[in-house]
Amino acid sequence: MQINSQTPEYKQNIPLNTLTPIIGTQVIEEWNDTQVVDHDLCIHHMFEMQVERSPQAIAVVFEDIQLTYQQLNKRANQLAHNLRTLGVGPEVLVGICLERSLEMIVGILGILKAGGAYVPLDPAYPPERLAFILSDTQASVLLTQEKLVKNLPPHQAQVVCLDSNWQGNTENNQENPVNQTTADNLVYVIYTSGSTGQPKGVMIPHRGICNQLYWRQTNFRLTQADKVLLTISFSFDPSVWQIFWPLCFGGQLILARPGGQQDTAYLVKVIIDQQITVLALVPSILRVLLEEKGIENCRFLRHITCGGEALPSELIEGFFAKLNLENVFHNCYGPTEASIDTTFWTCQRGTNYTIAPIGRPITNAEIHILDENLQPVPVGESGELYIGGIGLARGYLNRPELTTEKFIFNPFSSEAGARLYKTGDLARYLSDGNVEFLGRIDHQVKIRGFRIELGEIEAVLRQHRSVKEVVVIMREKVQGDKRLVAYLTLKQEQTAKVEQLRRFLQQKLPIYMMPSAFVILKALPMTPNGKIDRHSLPEPTQTRQQAEETFVAPSDETELQLARIWEKVLGIEPISITDNFFDLGGNSLLSIRLFAQVQKAFKKDMPLAILYQNPTIEQLAIILRQLEFSPSLSCLVPIKPNGSKPPLFLCQGFSLYQSLVPYLDSERPVYALISRDGQGMPVRFNGIEELASRYINEIKTLQPEGPYFLGGHSFGGVIAFEMAQQLSAQGQQIALLALFDSYVPGTMKKMSMSKRLSYNLKQFLKMGPAYLLKLCIERLSQKYGNLALKNQFIRTKNLQYLVSQAAYFKLVEEYATKYIPQVYLGRITLLMASDRRFQDEPELGWTKLAGGGLEIHEIPGDHLSIFKEPSIRLMAKKLELSIDERLI
């Protein structure tokens, strides 16, 4: 991992004049004496060795799906043999553009087993960046998913979709393929930010990663009981050890959901639920994680790596205060060009350092701190940090001049061809042999763990037709809150609005490289020698940068309270209720802070995903108002509003659906739709069509566009059916229409008296006298309810429920009489009770109405008991399977 503080002002508290002056180059050479046996293996060979040791152990877990080592190996082998037929072998680059999933792991292993090297392509990257990487690598094969194909830029690669079209060709070939790949062949090419305006591909051989993994295993000893959480995008090199350390040494790899690494509440839940023991975070995320509720319950963690940016001592002390874990917290440093981590330091209580050291070199790595003449500087003095050893990259793909500039001859090694990597980082040796990082010599910065060349952002901004000059800097007004600010001058007679510049950049750069503020100046400040004076650039104003005519003020107390929170977190005022949080400079870290304050202010537990789905005050206020449900004001009742997956809307029920929720996916929000007034009495509408229309208006306040997931029990299923009809007519997609033991209106009237008597006799023989008692209570309750509806004096408070139920059934009968259902062109999922009163309609009347097909699941029990144990478990499982099928 890389650790950059970005500011040369960071200093260690020990005065330099206390350092022993006699410490010289001989001692420094001893500090670099890290050489051990080179294992000379490829990563996929290490994995295959582990498969032999523990074939039936769980290797990887993603949500509720898991694969054993043997299963993962066989799937990767199938893919590898297929890739071989496409020409993949040693030194062949294969693009892989996948969301975080089991297919991603199979894809990476399959490429390596075929002998090739993988090139990760984050689906979130702008098309222009993806196009550049595909063009630069000239990848002949690209692994992806069907849903991502249409978003890919034009390319020449042969596409293999891992969720569909490769499996049939290789299903009989599951053996490990034999390949000629060696430790000196490439394992991957990862692209990092480039100062010229284009990213550069770093070529890493197997040898460096093999060394990295054996160093970790030797020092920290992973066991089969350990679980490693993948929190980093596979387009960044720290993901490599998170994936392969557990897979090569018998642990479990747990995949966080896409975007989950930025949701600290989700991280805490996963750590606890999955009993995660190994975790890696950047300091800015760790800071927020330590403030999260429940973090004190994570004290079973036994290895935590921090890196990507400076680690302040106060954050270390906060870690020990919350988790009280000794010798498990490690600060690591290393650029992508050195095979992930090059140095490490174990964090300690009561340290004298203001910023944690980056420690000493790992196995088979060298650290040299040199002056401009490539001579070692004395201990305690600053110089540029150079890295040597077997972990160095081969160089930059298609960039021989840059490779020659950054990878130089190693004058301190007797090994032929030995090189040093010129990091551009400023550092110094401390008297105990640890290295202290002091900042960057050039203008590369680190923000939230992302290495960013400011020159790349500047180069892209210069492409805008209105921009004349531009300089981008990083500001840190509050410790840990690093932001990019772009300063520009415009060409004569040209104008440009901030929102135009931001949209221009969004088409070309990843979100983590977006400036939070744009400052347009008449001229950039200059130093006496004619260079841009970065220290004289003004602080960006804390005012909204969008045009005044677009400002919309808060209209109620909810919007006003949200606006105050946004202004405090973003440091901008005033903020329009239609302003997008991320367009105002919001980022992943600020979104965590903002949402924590929103939840505290409104006393609501909500997933962070809601902010990403509703990034304006206006949209978020709608959600918050919905959570303040009042039966007299709304039909939409949040049974479980939290979760990142699409919501499930269920009609005409609440308590039954409450009993169903615990058995559904924990990440699935569930809402009930009911039409009752403040006293629980049903609200009258002009038929089912009007009621369904009202419900549609309600769900659109929460989810304006499809695909929609709808369902309902009994008569609620009929309403869901009509909602699906109306939404389809509006051009909306219905992903799921689930009917829980719902009959088509009018079906039951066709049943003869003899059939009804036959059913009652069957139930009596099954249940005995208890059935007669149950039937008697039902009849008396119905009779009382109907009488009370006609006579106010008969009603009592304790039996108001019977009155409301009687009114409800009377209204249902009225609605059903008027309703004439039409054929629905979509697919219907019917979950019907096995114990039905009327057996003459085996599909409850839906066959003729299901134009898109009828999927039937029979659930043990009767009309109500299907919502009780054990039937409810089966029903929930069948429902989730139907939902998952619709999402594929």
Which of 27-31, 160-164, 279-283, 409-413 shows the lowest per-residue confidence on average (mean pLDDT)?
Answer: 27-31
Tell whether 141 and 79 lie within a shared domain.
yes
* Amino acid found at 17: N
Tell whether 20 and 115 lie within a shared domain.
no
Confidence of residue 660 (pLDDT cuts 50, 70, 90): confident
Contact at 8 Å (CB) between 403 and 429? no
Average confidence (pLDDT) over 98-119: 96
Top-confidence residue, 530 or 232: 232
Say yes or no to pLDDT of 789 above 70.
no
Share of the chain above pLDDT 90, in %: 37
Tell whether 72 and 175 lie within a shared domain.
yes
Top-confidence residue, 312 or 69: 69
Say yes or no to pLDDT of 6 above 50.
no
Confidence of residue 547 (pLDDT cuts 50, 70, 90): low
Is the bond into 312 cis (omega within 30 degrees of 0)? no
Tell whether 490 and 388 lie within a shared domain.
no
Q: What is the per-residue pLDDT for 662?
A: 77
Tell whether 488 and 424 lie within a shared domain.
no
- Please state, rounded to an integer, the average pLDDT across all residues of the chain: 82
775 domain-assigned: no
Give me 231's structure tokens: 């929190």
104 domain-assigned: yes
* Amino acid found at 736: L
Q: What is the per-residue pLDDT for 250?
A: 96
Among residues 349, 306, 307, 309, the alpha carbon closest in space to that of 325 is found at 349
Q: What is the per-residue pLDDT for 679?
A: 44
Contact at 8 Å (CB) between 6 and 474? yes
Confidence of residue 463 (pLDDT cuts 50, 70, 90): confident
Give me 379's structure tokens: 């201990």
Confidence of residue 201 (pLDDT cuts 50, 70, 90): very high
Q: What is the per-residue pLDDT for 588?
A: 67
Chain center to CA of 214:
29
Q: Between β-strands 450-453 and 383-389, what pairing exists: parallel, antiparallel or unpaired?
A: unpaired
Alpha carbon distance 327, 570 (integer Å): 37
3-state secondary structure of 869: coil
Give me 591's structure tokens: 């979104």
Helices 498-506 and 454-461, interaxial angle, to 10°? 110
Among residues 795, 798, 809, 852, the alpha carbon closest in space to that of 829 is found at 852
Top-confidence residue, 613 or 427: 427
Please state the domain count of the chain: 3
478 domain-assigned: yes
517 domain-assigned: yes
The Cα angle at residue 360 between residues 355 and 366, in degrees rounded to 5:
130
Paired with 571 in beta bridges are: none
Top-confidence residue, 794 or 118: 118
Burial of 685 (0-12, 13-18, 19+ CB in 10 A): middle
Give me 751's structure tokens: 């049943």
Tell whether 469 and 423 lie within a shared domain.
no
Tell whether 429 and 487 lie within a shared domain.
no
84 domain-assigned: yes
Say yes or no to pLDDT of 278 above 60.
yes
Burial of 534 (0-12, 13-18, 19+ CB in 10 A): middle
Chain center to CA of 25:
47
Last residue of a domain, one of 154, 181, 208: 181
Identity of the highest mean pLDDT range in 47-51, 63-67, 322-326: 47-51
What secondary structure, in 3-state letters, does 468-487 show?
Answer: EEEEEEEEEEECCEEEEEEE
The CATH number given to whatever domain includes residue 523 is 3.30.300.30
H/E stretch holding 116: none
Confidence of residue 797 (pLDDT cuts 50, 70, 90): very low
The CATH number given to whatever domain includes residue 166 is 3.40.50.980
Buried b (16+ CB within 10 A) or exposed e, 493-511: eeebebbebbebbeebbbe
Tell whether 79 and 171 lie within a shared domain.
yes
Give me 518's structure tokens: 């744009």
Last residue of a domain, one of 181, 215, 242: 181
Which of 199-203, 634-638, 805-809, 857-861 shows the lowest per-residue confidence on average (mean pLDDT)?
Answer: 805-809
Q: Which domain, by its residues, includes 533? A: 462-540
Tell whether 175 and 95 lie within a shared domain.
yes
238 domain-assigned: no
| Residues 308-334: tens digit of each pLDDT | 878 888 889 999 999 999 999 999 999
Give me 598's structure tokens: 């929103």
Top-confidence residue, 241 or 308: 241
Identity of the highest mean pLDDT range in 156-165, 230-239, 441-450, 853-862: 230-239
The CATH number given to whatever domain includes residue 368 is 2.30.38.10
Q: Between β-strands 58-62 and 252-255, what pairing exists: parallel, antiparallel or unpaired?
A: parallel
Top-confidence residue, 710 or 838: 710
Last residue of a domain, one of 521, 540, 559: 540
Q: What is the per-residue pLDDT for 15?
A: 33
Tell whether 22 and 94 lie within a shared domain.
no
Task: Tell me the backbone φ, ψ of residue 442, rounded to 5 degrees.
Answer: -95, -155
Tell whether 72 and 176 lie within a shared domain.
yes
Alpha carbon distance 192, 424 (integer Å): 15
Alpha carbon distance 4, 659 (integer Å): 51
Which of 94-98, 116-120, 177-181 shows the lowest per-residue confidence on average (mean pLDDT)?
Answer: 177-181
| Residues 213-226: tens digit of each pLDDT | 999 999 999 999 99
128 domain-assigned: yes
Identity of the highest mean pLDDT range in 205-209, 311-315, 351-355: 205-209
Tell whether 428 and 486 lie within a shared domain.
no
Alpha carbon distance 589, 541 (integer Å): 21
Q: What is the per-residue pLDDT for 776?
A: 64
Alpha carbon distance 596, 106 (integer Å): 36
Burial of 345 (0-12, 13-18, 19+ CB in 10 A): buried
Among residues 170, 203, 166, the alpha carbon closest in space to that of 186 is found at 203
111 domain-assigned: yes
Q: Between β-strands 117-120 and 65-68, what pairing exists: parallel, antiparallel or unpaired?
A: unpaired
Average confidence (pLDDT) over 702-726: 91
Top-confidence residue, 645 or 356: 356
Average confidence (pLDDT) over 395-412: 95
* Lookup result for tokens 């992943």: 588
Say yes or no to pLDDT of 169 above 80.
no
